[in-house]
Chain A
């Protein structure tokens, strides 16, 4: 390198600028941690920066003229087949690619740039190899950790759903049935009371009313956990009930329609669609300022499509992508688990539409 500088400086009157520039260039070249090698068209490495020299274990390039790149990069005696850098020497088109190089025990990202002489003939390549082993390792870790989180979320969801189902049923069956029996006994007792004992009859009436209220509360708690309809009668009945319940509670008109009278689904899909429907309704009450909701459930041969549209203010892109929108994230996770798709779109001032599509046959080969 110093020879070149001396040569150039001889023919240069001012001298300093070119010297400085080459000096700078050389400084940069050797400081860069990427492996940079300059090759002639016969695959010989003619220049290399410090990093390349050290990692490839290159000999003194001014003395040794037979320094085949494949020898040092791949540990082979000829260029590997399909090497994009070799193609670059032939085609003159730059190449960028990634690979794991066992010889260096390294994941590398390689950029090969063709070199041309003054008559535009290819005279070799500039070969820049970046060690991306860490990046690849982090990517793999991230992927694994995401997968773990997803599995954990799915597991927690399944456990929660199972617990809710169990609790709802226990509460409903055990408590409500016992209260019913209590009411019947009270009725019987009331009939046995002497007719002229008004205070006793009044008391019995108060007790009976209290039992009714308690039955009502038990039912409410139970169906908030998980409506028995979903397990007893299926998704359609549960959605009809939920729509009516929502309408009564919020005053927002809610209509549901179904493509057929009998959509038979497994519990997993029923639960997913039902919970997404519930979550969508919750979002509508909280944010949409809507007065009308239309929901439809369609069964096609391949998939099940839920669409919920409201006439509210319309969800914004920021709301959709907000990492704290746990409701939406939960919906996406539920759908992802069944290998389906969810699309949420809002038009300002017009409303929001949530479309969920779930395949009826998943990769595990379970169909309903």
Chain B
């Protein structure tokens, strides 16, 4: 059984995601949270394998919630689902401990692929994003990639 918490403030998006995940496998159990506080509350009181976290919910920023979740439960796998394709979001989310970063307009197949990778203990970013991230780290921080990453932090798996 794969227990997934869908955290998004838009009901329509939650419904859509639930539908896709239900189609994916019968072994998926989904739960929902509509705001940051609810996410923290549910994660504290229940056990989940993966949290699908919207990076921009009203109130506390998605990144803050991500950091809080990682400090509460370091082994919880968090896949960021974001409306923002800009790599600046992805870099910061991955640095804060997200297991993967996916933009919401990715195809449902990509989402399913990402969930499978993450539940197998790997990290995920889409192939296009992986490429941009590599360039970004090189140009922005102006130092070799391995220096800006903490050990074991980014074993990126490009999407197949």
Question: In the complex, A238→B84 CA distance in Å?
Answer: 13
Question: In the complex, A241→B91 CA distance in Å?
Answer: 12
How would you classify the secondary structure of chain A's contact residues: helix, strand, loop or mixed? helix
Interface size on A, residues (CB 8 A): 28
Interface size on B, residues (CB 8 A): 29
Contacts of B17 in A (CB 8 A): 184
Pair A173/B56 contact, Cβ less than 8 Å = yes
Given contacts A180-B105, A184-B108, contact A172 B83 (CB under 8 A): yes
Pair B19/A184 contact, Cβ less than 8 Å = yes
Given contacts A188-B23, A233-B88, contact A181 B15 (CB under 8 A): yes
Contacts of A172 in B (CB 8 A): 83
Question: In the complex, A255→B138 CA distance in Å?
Answer: 12
Pair B16/A184 contact, Cβ less than 8 Å = yes
Q: Which residues 174-188 in A have Cβ within 8 Å of B in the complex?
A: 176-178, 180-181, 183-185, 187-188
Pair B104/A180 contact, Cβ less than 8 Å = yes
Contacts of B84 in A (CB 8 A): 228-229, 232
Question: In the complex, A30→B153 CA distance in Å?
Answer: 92
B145 at the interface (CB under 8 A from A): no
Name which residue of chain A comes closest to B16, CB basis: A184
Question: In the complex, A180→B72 CA distance in Å?
Answer: 30
User: Would you give the shortest CB distance from A55 to chain B, in whole angstroms?
Assistant: 70
Q: Which of A177, A180, A188 contacts B19 (CB 8 A)?
A: A188
Pair A233/B63 contact, Cβ less than 8 Å = yes
Contacts of B10 in A (CB 8 A): 173, 177-178, 181
Question: In the complex, A120→B151 CA distance in Å?
Answer: 92
B61 at the interface (CB under 8 A from A): yes
Given contacts A187-B107, A188-B19, contact A181 B86 (CB under 8 A): no
Given contacts A178-B12, A233-B63, A257-B142, contact A240 B83 (CB under 8 A): no
User: Would you give the shortest CB distance from A110 to chain B, in whole angstroms?
Assistant: 64
**Interface residues in chain A, defined as those with a beta carbon under 8 Å from any beta carbon in chain B:** 172-173, 176-178, 180-181, 183-185, 187-188, 191, 211-212, 215, 219, 228-229, 232-233, 237-238, 240-241, 255-257
**Interface residues in chain B, defined as those with a beta carbon under 8 Å from any beta carbon in chain A:** 10, 12-13, 15-17, 19-20, 23, 55-56, 61-63, 83-86, 88-89, 92, 104-105, 107-108, 136, 139-140, 142
